[in-house]
Chain A
Amino acid sequence: MLYPADVGHLLGFSLYEGLAFGFVAIGVYLTFRVLAFPDLTVDASFALGGAVAAVLIADHDVNPFLATLAALGAGLCAGLATSLLNTKLKIPALLAGILMMVGLYSINLRIMGQPNLQLLREPSIFSLTAQLLGLETRLEYRLVVAGVLAVVVFFILNWFLRTEIGLALRATGDNEQMVRGAGIDTDKTTILGVSIANGIVALSGGVVAQGQGFSDVNMGVGMIITGLASVIIGEALFRPKGVARLLLAAFGGTFVYRLVISIALRIGMRAGDLKLITAVIVIIALAIPYLQKRIRREWLPPAPRW
């Protein structure tokens, strides 16, 4: 049952998750929506971020902030590999992502040396911030850390996507022909965009692993679909126009998604059913625009099949 006393905690916890997993939605938004590059690397780069941060903190006593930065770097490399497979070896985007996802599973296992790595007794970006600011409750320092990171990522992306290079990146997913006509190598913009997206996703993995106190080789499973669900919910609820609002919608959509999931669990739904429900949400959201037009008997262009 859901008690009134829980509501505050539930909202706060969902807000934290909305911020921490919001980076995944940002990564999915960058690839699927901005670049029109359906990148399935995300599942594995999320786990990669967790693995890299966990190993550096637990086994090598690296400063957690540096370890989190390293997670971001590892994600950049994963995205670089996927985009090179696509642009230079002409492997279709979907397949390139799946190949990287499968390959990275083994690499993540190698990095951690075991499927699961505990971090509860290790320092983290959360514990260090808590000490520094004298924060006591878990929720407080979680919100502070995730909030600061989200604000930093938001401002950097909101600026970057409006720069000359950022514009070229956005146009690549919109009209590749025009971008080449403007003298831009679309291979380069694709590589840059997919790398950045996976870097941000891996950053999320590193943060989440420290937040939950462990890293697991399977922690990224289904991340691509939950990210997509969050993006779609954000777009449906906030109808964003412009770069800044689209980025905020990704965080907002993740918050709503996580809140709904948390409530569903509280009122007795089985955790194992979540992935099915997420898949159904995405299917409905993707089908609605098509069905609406079918009902109005409008002509529809064929959907991209990538």
Chain B
Amino acid sequence: MSENKSLLRLRRISKVFSKGTGDQVRALDGINLDVDSGDYIAIIGSNGAGKTTLLNVIAGVYPPENGGRIIVNDKEVSKLSEYRRASYIGRVYQDPHVGTAAKMSIEENMAMALLRGQPRGLRVATNKQRREVFRVALAPLGLGLENRLSALVGTLSGGQRQALALVMATLSNPAILLLDEHIATLDPRTAQIVLDLTDMIATREKMTTIMVTHNMELALRHGNRLIMMHKGRIVVDMNQEQKANLTIHDLVVAFERASGEEFVDDSVLLRPGNVVGTSDL
């Protein structure tokens, strides 16, 4: 991967739900976005701004509409289905249950993730060598999961499952990591662990990361780029220097100027101590 070259390019990405009915929603409205290799982007925006839909389009859950294009590493992937894009996309969802399989053991879940996007054969999926890989990957969490490889994932707490889901999403070293409010439902301690690991993966290992969040302070403090979405459009896009000395108030002002609307969504504003996982950030 060469530096300073767009790894992911989105061109005119639109998505309309319930088209032609009274409930028609324009979730994405002609999005253009260039993501450089190694970027760590935080995306904020109120409910219905199109953040999750954007991740879904990148991941291939829905195809882009009206000739929108998605290009990864100079390769057009717009028409590839979700499972075909898996080789270069790792994803963590808000709900820990979505990223892991409850009735299978930790090592079996990780074996599934290790082979992401690769052909699978008739070898027994877990072996000594792979278990060692799993232990090394789990150890930095400090949750002791590396000593419980044969435990069923259904017996883990939500936070443990989410931490496991993040390790699994990055295990096969995908080109792009998509995080969809991945710490929103976690208790403060686990949220911090998962966030630290996210920073390590994105900043130190330079994995290109797109993190959707509801939390403005989180978006200001983490990542080298901040994007704010509103009604399916990107209304604010700031790089590292632009966002360095920003406060939440500045962000609200920037939003109002860009969208031409008054900022009304309280849930995006940080109320210290009130929002899970932020009091000690």
Contact = CB atoms under 8 A, between A and B. Distances in A.
A186 interface: yes
Contacts of A175: 97-98, 100-102
B87 A183 contact: yes
B58 to A, nearest CB: 13
A167 interface: yes
Interface string B122-135: 11111000000000
A167 B83 contact: no
Contacts of A167: 104, 108, 111-112, 120, 125
Contacts of B117: 182-183
A182 B86 contact: yes
A196 to B, nearest CB: 13
B182 interface: no
Most buried by A among B113, B121, B122, B125: B125
B118 interface: yes
A185 interface: yes
Most buried by A among B83, B112, B116, B117: B112
A179 B93 CA distance: 14
B83 A183 contact: yes
A182 B115 CA distance: 7
B123 A170 contact: no
A257 B98 CA distance: 36
Contacts of A159: 124
Interface in A170-221: 170-171, 174-175, 177-186
Given A167-B108, A167-B111, A175-B102, A180 B82 contact: yes
A168 B108 CA distance: 10
B84 interface: yes
Interface in A123-179: 159-160, 162-168, 170-171, 174-175, 177-179
Contact of A163 (B84, B86, B123): B123
A182 B112 contact: yes
Contacts of A165: 120-122
B86 A181 contact: yes
A174 B102 contact: yes
B103 interface: yes
A2 B89 CA distance: 65
Interface string A241-273: 100000000000000000000000000000000
B111 A164 contact: yes
B99 interface: yes
B83 A163 contact: no
B87 to A, nearest CB: 6
A163 B111 CA distance: 10
Given A164-B125, A166-B125, A171-B104, A178 B120 contact: no
A179 B103 CA distance: 13
Contacts of A184: 83, 86, 120
Contacts of B109: 171
A163 B115 contact: no
Contacts of B112: 167-168, 171, 178-179, 182
6 contacts: A164-B111, A170-B101, A174-B104, A179-B101, A181-B83, A182-B113
Interchain residue pairs A-B with the least CB separation, the first 8: A183-B86, A164-B120, A183-B117, A174-B101, A175-B101, A167-B125, A180-B83, A164-B125
Given A167-B111, A181-B59, 11 more contacts: A163-B121, A163-B123, A164-B111, A164-B115, A164-B122, A165-B122, A166-B125, A167-B120, A170-B104, A178-B100, A184-B86
Interface of A: 159-160, 162-168, 170-171, 174-175, 177-186, 241
